[in-house]
Amino acid sequence: MNEIRSLEDTFGRIIGKYTDIGMRRPTIKNNETAMLIRLLEYGQGMNIGLKHISDLLCVAVSAGKYNLVEFLCKYPDQLKLSLQQRINNQIVALKRAADIGRCDIVELLLRYNTDTKPYNVCESALKYAITHGSIECAKVLIQNGTKIDIKYALDIAVNQQMVKLMNFLFENHQQELTEHISKNASHVTELLITAAVKGNLEIIDKIIDAGADVNGTTSEGETPLMNSKDGDVALFLIRKGANVNHVTSQSNTPLISVIQSYRYSSSKTAIVQVLLENGAYVNARNSEGKTPLMLAASHTNSESMLQTLSDYGANFTDQDNEGNTALIHAALCDCSQNVSFLLESVKNMNEFLNVQNHKGLSALMFAVTCMNLNLVQKLIDHDADMNIKDEDGNTALLHALPQYNLKEPHIFLYNFAIHESNIKKK
């Protein structure tokens, strides 16, 4: 008895060397394969055979050892495993085979494990093969009767930008795709939006050609065009029929939507250029009455976008629902460079510089609340009126004093004195 136990322990240590299932690609040499088979033949009936057989099968698959996998599939001790154990083993083994792209091993596993097929083993393996781009292995599973989940496959193809998988789906499952697209408009719109965000034109083209509505909307009214990755995607969608002036429930157009989500990048500026070139309304307003120029003025590093909007006729004196102009928005957001651009670009300074919103607040008043002396000085240098009062009777100086805690009001006092002096001279 002790001799048998000792032999089993030795056997287990040898087999255990190869059953580190955490290893993605374990190494088993050819001469070791023969040795393992001989040991397994010798160890039939021992507890060690049942104990290590499952892990060893997965390792053999990962190592791509066809002969060893075949031997293990036929190994008598496999029959001692419960059905659930065999199901679990095959799921792992099939996933490993798909992971390394060994279609021959996938076929082998399917051939020797027919009793596990009704238990979603193949469906699980197919999803894994699709997720990891093992298209040939996916084909083998499908040819063996595994039903493909079209929605899942489409999601993977679009999210992971798998052109090869997308081509496979359209070449082999056109009918299922067409049916899914016709019955699941919201999902297809989400797919197309994701594809627009990712930016692969080939995938976008296939989704549209399969029947997706290029102007399909989300529950918030967003379209794929509003989510374009760059100018190339935007232009492609427009040529496919995307509406450049689509309006959401919040009155956002594609131009407004792109600028609202602006974080400085040349790709966003390129999208704005494409939209304007193709007829986007440059002075459109959202539900708050804000125009593209106002929104762009609220973002730092957006001078190039402001220039583009200006080139296409943006109105500098428009006011939103609260009476704020683009200049006020730039001052409110402490965007000094945008203030400079607007001051240098406006044609009629008198109708622009001292505009007050519905609360009587001017760009200068907002500038002082940012405690940006350079910005304040810039506005004063362009003759911003310091004597304008808001609805509460406060001037820019009165707005400034609380902000600076009476420590640095000199810039206002100095300029106020000069301003008063100039008035008296006149």
What tens digit of pLDDT does each residue of 206-242 get?
999 989 999 999 988 999 999 999 999 999 999 999 9
pLDDT score for 155: 94
Give the per-residue SS3 of the chain.
CHHHHHHHHHHHHHHHCCCCCCCCCCCCCHHHHHHHHHHHHHCCCCHHHHHHHHHHHHHHHHCCCHHHHHHHHHCHHHHHCCHHHHHHHHHHHHHHHHHCCCHHHHHHHHHHCHHHHHHCHHHHHHHHHHHCCCHHHHHHHHHCCCCCCHHHHHHHHHHCCCHHHHHHHHHHCHHHHHHHHHHCHHHHHHHHHHHHHHCCHHHHHHHHHCCCCCCCCCCCCCCHHHHCCCHHHHHHHHHCCCCCCCCCCCCCCHHHHHHHCCCCCHHHHHHHHHHHHCCCCCCCCCCCCCCHHHHHHCCCCCHHHHHHHHHCCCCCCCCCCCCCCHHHHHHHCCCHHHHHHHHHHCCCHHHCCCCCCCCCCCHHHHHHHCCCHHHHHHHHHCCCCCCCCCCCCCCHHHHHHHHHCCCCCHHHHHHHHHHHHHHHHC
The residue-averaged pLDDT of 140-144 equals 86
Q: What per-residue confidence (pLDDT) applies to 348?
A: 80
pLDDT band at 91 (very low <50, low <70, confident <90, very high): confident
Q: Residue range 52-56: average pLDDT?
A: 72
With 60 as the cut, is the pLDDT of residue 362 above it? yes
Can you give the pLDDT at residue 420? 46
Q: What is the pLDDT of residues 337-361, one digit of tens each?
A: 999 999 999 888 877 899 999 999 9
Mean local confidence (pLDDT), 17-31 = 62
Q: How many CB atoms lie within 10 A of CB 425?
A: 6
pLDDT at res. 83: 74
**Cβ-contact 15, 39 below 8 angstroms:** yes
Q: List all residues 6 or more positions away from 385 whose beta carbon is below 8 Å from its beta carbon.
A: 353, 354, 362, 364
pLDDT band at 264 (very low <50, low <70, confident <90, very high): low
**pTM to 2 decimal places:** 0.80
Share of the chain above pLDDT 70, in %: 81
Segment 147-188, tens digit of pLDDT? 888 999 999 999 999 999 999 999 989 889 889 988 999 999
> If you average pLDDT over every residue of the chain, what do you get?
84
Between 47-56, 220-229, 406-415, the lowest mean confidence (pLDDT) is in 406-415
